Amino acid sequence: MSIATKTGDRGITGLMYNRRVSKCHPRVEAYGCVDELNTAIGLARATTTHDFVHANLLSIQSDLVLLMGELATAVEDIARYVKDGYKLVVPEMTAKLDKLIQEIELQKITYKGWATPGASLQSAALDVARTVCRRAERRVCALQESDQLQNLEIIIYLNRLADLLWLFARWVETKAESVANPSQLA
């Protein structure tokens, strides 16, 4: 079987359970943005030299695969999706992000230059992931506003993830600064 199925040549694509929709359908826009987010996080993970960031980004990517599956399922098919053994985004996933945020906030990190990403390749990659996450969040909010989203935890998760990615970028910058100027963070 070829990857080029040609089923999308007329501008339609498939959701779970063989539902066909336009490639510009709000649901496709939402899970497409999360797919971009997953890729941006993959780039951030590939560029980081910090095990703490690397391991947590990999775990988040696993969560995003689950989240995309839920978004790729029409509201009327969610019960079937769950019955078939697929998992939904749950508050415990967001709680893991909250715990990481609290852990980072307990450390002495710098916010110097936070509004101008690019202090390092690693922090810039994390800031790109953060902005893609905010776009994904907006697309999911559009689904919710049009009554096409059953699970509001998805919005909460993406909101918290954007906060965490911002903090990861600042944490990476602080670590780089402390290596370059150890006396500044004493």
**13: in domain:** no
**36: in domain:** yes
CATH at 153 = 1.20.1200.10
Q: Which range marks the domain in which residue 144 is found?
A: 22-73+80-177
**140: in domain:** yes
**12: in domain:** no
User: What is the percent of the chain with per-residue pLDDT over 70, rounded to a whole number?
Assistant: 88
Q: Are 123 and 114 a contacting pair, CB within 8 Å?
A: no
**116-140 pLDDT per residue, tens:** 777 899 999 999 999 999 999 999 9
Q: Rounded to two decimals, what is the model's pTM?
A: 0.89
Average pLDDT, the chain: 90
Q: Of the given ranges (1-15, 44-58, 102-116), which has the lowest mean pLDDT? A: 1-15
**61-99 pLDDT per residue, tens:** 999 999 999 999 999 999 999 999 999 999 999 999 999
Q: Are 91 and 69 a contacting pair, CB within 8 Å?
A: no
**115: in domain:** yes
Q: DSSP string covering 46-107, please?
A: HH---HHHHHHHHHHHHHHHHHHHHHTS-GGGHHHHHHTTPPPP-HHHHHHHHHHHHHHHTS
Q: Which of 28, 47, 20 is nearest to 128 (CA)?
A: 47
Torsion of CA 65, 6, 28, 129, to 10 degrees: 50
> What radius of gyration do the chain's Cα atoms show?
18
**186: in domain:** no
**Spatial distance between the Cα atoms of 21 and 77, rounded to a whole number of angstroms:** 14
Q: Which of 157, 22, 148 is nearest to 88 (CA)?
A: 157
Q: For the chain, how many structural domains are there in total?
A: 1
**108: in domain:** yes
pLDDT at position 185 is 45
